[in-house]
Amino acid sequence: MQPTKSKSTRYQPKGLYITAAALLTISAAFSVSDQFADEWLDSFTNGLRGPSPIQWRDRDAALGEAKRTKKPILYAFLARHDNASLQMYGDGFHDQKVADLINQGFIPVRVDFNSRDYVHKSKLYTQLHNQYGYSATCELLTVPAHMTDMSSSDLESSANLSEACIDNTAGLERGDRYNQSYNSRYRRGYVRSDGLGFTNNSPKFIGYTNKRDLLDYLYGAQHWHRLPPTKGKVAWLPLSVASAPLTSKPRLIAFVDNAGTASDNMRLDTFWNARDYKLINQEFEPVLVEFRHGDTAFNKPLEKLKEKYGIVTLPALVIDSSNFADPIVQFGNSNSGSTHEFLKSAVKKAATKL
Amino acid sequence: MNRAVCITTWREFKANRVRVILLTLLFLGPIAMFTLQRCSNPEALNADMLSHPLMASFFTLLWASGVIGREVQNGTIALVLARPITIANYVVSKWFAVGFAASLCAVEAVFCEHIISAVNCPSLLWAPEFFANSIERIILCFGTAAFLVFLSSLVSGLKDLALLAGFAFMFLLYSAFAHTVYQMASFVHLDHEYVLHFGRIIESLFIAILFPYVPMSVFLSGSYFAYGPLIALFTLITCCLSCSIWVLTHREFSYAAD
């Protein structure tokens, strides 16, 4: 009897089984390699390899270059097992416009992590995590040249503090800066419901959305740190007044930095607060002594004033009057209520003759 | 692949009114939400607002639930296999029918969203996100379909939904208690780091099965090829189909309803 050519109903497709077993072995090897052996199969498992149109620097070189060129450092934190990182690297960084913008306007530093880095916590991981507290998946962070020693909260605070950002002043004037949007005029980016994207001119870009958002972020990141921070609604007198002889009005000298959370908070809590700026404009001769963070040449002449009043940290408020034996000083940024009490007590004290 | 099995699968779906209603809702829901978003906030027009490719998994779930199990339950599988068709052919045909139908629905849904975008903002007509989203949906459909066909081959009727829920629940349990287990490892003198590595392998296994996602925009940009997600997808498909065929070839079928 001739054997039939058709296959049995319970025919076993050995080819499919062998292919499945082979693929399963390869996948297992990839997973094990990713978890237990960094270099083994790295060229296959690591989607963040391959040529890049961006000229990446290492961190030490970037810090030196930032000091020389004053360009901001752009940290790209990428994790090889993360889909958003793969998209950022493959789709975002390989776009010619994005690459040109980064190469021309930034000093790019790439920080790649594989799963082992979370556990072993390399020196670089520890340094960057302590300073910026990032989540070690896909994230971009712009650090201006003058703010390389600052934390991510300082960066976020200063990124939203330019005069151009402030349009909704009602909340600030009531001393309620937390519940008010004070930078909607400058709003460019957005955060999606899944938490990706970026807000306003924030220094961070979290996850990956698309190329247009990335370009928007990079355009904003080139500029926000070049805009001067707000000086509030105080009618500041010229700096030369600070060294002039005292008059009948007490003199308020405000020492602030141009970056950093403490100085930023003083600008918003006091210089924008209607209760405070009205009191200052009415009762004091206000002078703003504004330091540029990390710019020694610019700060040198201002250091003399700092020494004169014994200021060691910024910000500080100094009130001097012909009726005072010694000037009175508030170190750091106290809360809005305490600063107001400080100003009121100074007014009262100045009214009392020695 | 057997054309008749594919067509029967589609016809069977069409005959089930509950599924058709659910499919219509799943199709119209995101589009209605998307249109409202477009109308209320036209300034934020952005191709990225297309609904997430994960939607494709829900379409697949609708098409694939009980795709083999129902035929086992009512005894029709024995009649189908009485014809000159192998179980391997039958399983692959079922997988293709489900994957193709779900892909069609998922791509149609994203196409409608895209048209609404393009009407409001013609510059978005050729936005690459649309193409990437569509391909990601197709991949998700075929990947998820393979796993659901495997689950359906294990049990009769719609019990595969219970298996899927159990699997998802296991993943939730794992996510919730993984760190406790890692800490417990140190009490029994196991290397904490190695336990953590094994934990991550298990986690990636769960994710690869439940969400076989391949980031297409990476490949479309022509940059370095990331093999990992693609190999994981093919592994999922071949392993699930192989297991499904093996299970069915070692099972006796009755003409009587289960």
Most confident among A285-289, B79-83, B250-254 (mean pLDDT): A285-289
List residues bridging with A329 in a β-sheet.
A318
Q: What pLDDT is attached to residue B95?
A: 94
Task: Determine what percent of chain B is predicted with pLDDT higher than 70.
Answer: 87
Task: Look at residue B163 and tell me whether its pLDDT is greater than 80.
Answer: yes
Q: What pLDDT is attached to residue A120?
A: 47
Asked whether the beta carbons of A50 and A126 are under 8 A apart, the reply is: no
B42 contacts chain A (CB < 8 A) = no
Mutating which of A7, A48, A83 best tests the B interface, going by the most B Cβ atoms within 10 A? Answer: A83
> What distances in angstroms separate CA A93 from CA A45, A51, A66, A109, B132, one per listed residue?
19, 11, 21, 13, 17
CA distance B36 to B33: 5
CA distance A63 to A148: 8
What average pLDDT does range B133-137 have in this prediction?
Answer: 88
B213 contacts chain A (CB < 8 A) = yes
Q: What is the pLDDT of residues B169-218, one digit of tens each?
A: 988 888 888 777 777 776 776 666 677 777 778 888 888 888 888 877 66
| A 113-152: CB under 8 A from B | 115-116, 119-120
Residue B120: CA count within 13 A, CB half-sphere: 19
CA angle, A116 then A122 then A126, to 5°: 120
Residue B245: CA count within 13 A, CB half-sphere: 27
Closest partner residue to B231 (CB to CB) among A20, A26, A192 is A26
CA distance A199 to A256: 26
Q: A251 — phi, psi (to 5°)?
A: -110, 130
Q: Which residues of B touch A190 (CB under 8 A)?
A: 44
The more confident residue out of A43 and B153 is B153
Q: Which residues of B touch A8 (CB under 8 A)?
A: 86
Q: What pLDDT is attached to residue A83?
A: 74
The tokens for B116 are 């609404």
CA distance A121 to A106: 27
The answer to whether the CB atoms of B221 and A91 lie below 8 A apart is yes
Task: Look at residue B246 and tell me whether its pLDDT is greater than 90.
Answer: yes
Q: What pLDDT is attached to residue A258?
A: 85
CA distance B36 to B49: 12
**pTM for the predicted model, two decimal places:** 0.68
Nearest partner of A315 among A271, A267, A255, judged by Cα: A255
Nearest partner of A277 among A239, A235, A331, judged by Cα: A235
Q: Which is it for the CA torsion B48, B51, B56, B58, positive or negative?
A: positive
Q: Where are the beta strands (DSSP E) in chain B?
A: none
SS3 A323: coil
SS3 readout for B173-237: HHHHHHHHHHHHHHHCCCCHHHHHHHHHHHHHHHHHHHCCCCCHHHHHCCCCCCHHHHHHHHHHH
pLDDT (tens digit, 0 to 9) for every residue of chain A, 354 residues total?
566 667 788 888 889 999 999 999 988 887 777 777 656 666 666 667 677 889 998 888 999 999 899 899 999 888 776 778 888 888 888 888 899 999 999 999 988 776 555 444 556 767 777 788 765 578 888 898 888 888 888 887 777 777 666 666 677 777 766 554 444 444 444 455 455 555 555 788 888 877 878 888 888 888 878 888 888 888 899 888 888 888 888 889 999 888 888 888 888 888 888 888 888 988 888 999 888 888 888 888 888 888 888 888 888 898 888 888 888 888 887 777 788 888 888 888 877 755
CA distance A288 to A242: 9
CA distance A166 to A283: 26
DSSP character for A237?
A: B
**Alpha-carbon radius of gyration of chain B:** 21
A217 contacts chain B (CB < 8 A) = no
Long-range CB pairs of A24-32 (<8 Å, 24+ gap) are A24/B235, A24/B239, A26/B231, A26/B235, A27/B208, A27/B231, A27/B232, A27/B235, A30/B227, A30/B228, A30/B231, A31/B201, A31/B204, A31/B205, A32/B201
DSSP for A240-294, written as a single string? GGGGSPP-SS-EEEEEEESSSHHHHHHIIIIIS-HHHHHHHHHH-EEEEEEE-TT
| Of A158-162, B132-136, B233-237, minimum mean pLDDT range | A158-162
Closest partner residue to B238 (CB to CB) among A23, A48, A95 is A23
Asked whether the beta carbons of B204 and A83 are under 8 A apart, the reply is: no
The answer to whether the CB atoms of A210 and B129 lie below 8 A apart is yes
> What distances in angstroms separate CA B59 from CA A290, B169, B244, one per listed residue?
60, 20, 21
A298 contacts chain B (CB < 8 A) = no
Long-range CB pairs of B123-126 (<8 Å, 24+ gap) are B124/B45, B124/B47
| Assembly ipTM | 0.86
Q: What pLDDT is attached to residue A185?
A: 40
| B 120-139: CB under 8 A from A | 129
Q: B143 — phi, psi (to 5°)?
A: -65, -50
- The residue with tokens 């958003």 is A84
CA distance A26 to B231: 8
